[in-house]
Amino acid sequence: MDGVHDLGGKQGFGAVGHGPQAKVFHSDWEKRINALYAIAVRQGIFNMDEYRHAIERMEPRHYMCASYYERTLTSLATLCVEKGVVTHAELETLAGGLFPLARALGTGRTNVPNRSSYNPGDWVRVRDLYVSGHVRLPSYIRGKVGRVIAVSPPYPFPDAQAHGVQAQDEPTYDVQFHSHELWSDAADDALVHVGVFESYLEPLT
């Protein structure tokens, strides 16, 4: 789905702030939320694609104002309510006030029919897809042409996995794009590598 979470390749946000000595956790509650989320995945309450999609479903203003672990908390709480582990009312009672959850689940999909497999050296085009549910296709590579460099083993298809839809596992392809293919006015002459699921690609004809 398109949303504020998909910032790859976007301009106007300035330099990414980072520090080599930055702490992983800034307070104890972040450690607890991270541990609870890991336990939930290991116990099979939800999977990683459901977790990612719940973050994508956050109300945009909430998402932009939230810290990394606040987003984890919102995803964890939303999925636990949707899976019947806890109720929204119970969360608000414990919080002593409003407890915002992510918005309603989008529509999932299974694998693209008649998809092709590829080998290193093949030229491919990324399908120009707009999906209402979860998708691991960065918007900045839609419709772009690149060359397959390597192939990874099959993995659960995220568009289906996030929604409980049946699908075959798919390989991902390390696709190499030239910077000027992705951005016509790119300042740097560079190569960009993106891992792309098979259903997101079509043969270049």
Q: Please indicate whether residue 49 or residue 205 has the higher confidence score (pLDDT).
A: 49
pTM of the model: 0.91
Q: Please indicate whether residue 28 or residue 129 has the higher confidence score (pLDDT).
A: 28
CATH number at residue 26: 1.10.472.20
Largest CA distance in the chain: 60
Of 105, 132, 162, which residue constitutes the final position of a domain? 105
Are residues 197 and 140 part of one domain?
A: yes
Are residues 132 and 55 part of one domain?
A: no
- The whole domain housing 151 covers 123-203
Query: Per 3-state DSSP, what percentage of the chain is helix, strand, and coil (rounded to 5)?
Result: 35, 15, 55
pLDDT at 7 (0 to 100): 84
At 110-120, the pLDDT tens digits run: 999 999 999 99
Are residues 86 and 134 part of one domain?
A: no
Residue 37 reports pLDDT greater than 90: yes
Residue 1 reports pLDDT greater than 80: no
Residue 76 in contact with residue 37, Cβ under 8 Å? yes
Which tokens go with 124?
A: 């491919």
